[in-house]
Amino acid sequence: MKPWKIIFLLFLIVGTIYVISNEPPYRQNSGSIFGTYYNITYKHDTDLRNDIEKVLNSVNKSLSPFNKQSVITAINNNQDVEPDSLFTYIFTLAQEISSKTEGTFDITVAPLVNAWGFGFKNAENTDSMAIDSIRKYVGYNKISLANGKIEKQHPQTMLDCSAIAKGYACDLVADMLQKKGIENFLVEIGGEVVAKGKNNKAKAWSIGINKPVDDASGSNSQLQEIIHISNKSMATSGNYRNFRYENGQKLSHTIDPRTGYPVLHTLLSATVIADDCATADAYATAFMVAGLDKALEICKQESLDAYFIYSDSTGKLHTKETEGMRIYHR
């Protein structure tokens, strides 16, 4: 080899090593928020924990019914409050998705969720008369946003954005990271995910879907499937973690806003992929209420990709997915 070629090759090797050694590292921040955990990985020169927590706290102050000082708590208590931009955005999106899912997603389900012991207030009497009386106050068409204020047909109507707020928080953190010029990151809050760019192995981000076995402790690590995504959002809703037994019957935390009772169908888990995580989060919940057949119908209408796990009469697990979902795990 000619001397000049050797020198050029050495310069190329040294230059490559220099570039690699000066690449920003992948950092990870973890913590707790909204009664669950967050894990955020991103490629950047500096630690952004403070910026991340600032975003998460803004969502908590707006949309958490467990926060006594939040906007949604003030609305639930019928205080004269003007919703902030976060609440307004999510309320508008929730109403839109409620209409498209024929009410299987409904943020006014809060009084029913509370009555069954899965919400932000203590369980109440759940006989048929009590449930029927609560249902009078439930329904997305019984609330509206007009002149910058929430208007209720009934003062007893309460809102719970838990089935969309975590996804929205993921979106807001993702927006913050992108505004800082970060192109590679994974935002995960309570199982809801926004993935952008590549992981530290220069590949799409790998996200596991849990096998839906009863797991009230949240310690189940059995995976049904692994999804590989980039520049997409993903959310999963299931009935295998949040449940309780009453008179020997298993009660799911997924309450059908239309009937007032926990769902009893065979759909155990619904995973949705969408462009934004708030949308994925809301539709995953809607599908758990709607059931498999209706969920597939909505997917077709709204051009959504989804992966479902359900059981047959013997308890055996089966899966079904939209055609577009296949590219994410095969």
The CA radius of gyration of the chain, in Å to the nearest whole number, is 22
CA proximity to 31, closest of 47, 8, 43, 44: 47
Residue 31: phi and psi, rounded to 5, are 175, -165
Provide the pLDDT for residue 49.
97
pTM of the full structure: 0.88
Using the structure block, give the residue that is written with the tokens 């508008």: 92
Domain ranges across the chain:
29-152, 198-328
Chunked into runs of 10 residues, the chain (330 residues) has average pLDDT values of 55 48 86 93 97 98 95 96 97 98 95 74 65 91 94 95 96 98 97 97 95 62 91 90 48 80 87 98 97 96 96 89 90
Q: Which fold has domain 29-152?
A: T-fold (3.10.520)
pLDDT of residue 3: 57
User: Residues 300-329: pLDDT tens digits?
Assistant: 999 999 999 998 888 889 999 999 999 998
The reported pLDDT for the residue numbered 132 is: 85
Considering the four listed CATH numbers 3.10.520.10, 2.60.40.10, 3.30.70.1380, 3.40.930.10, the one that applies to the domain covering 198-328 is: 3.10.520.10
Domains 29-152 and 198-328 share a fold: yes
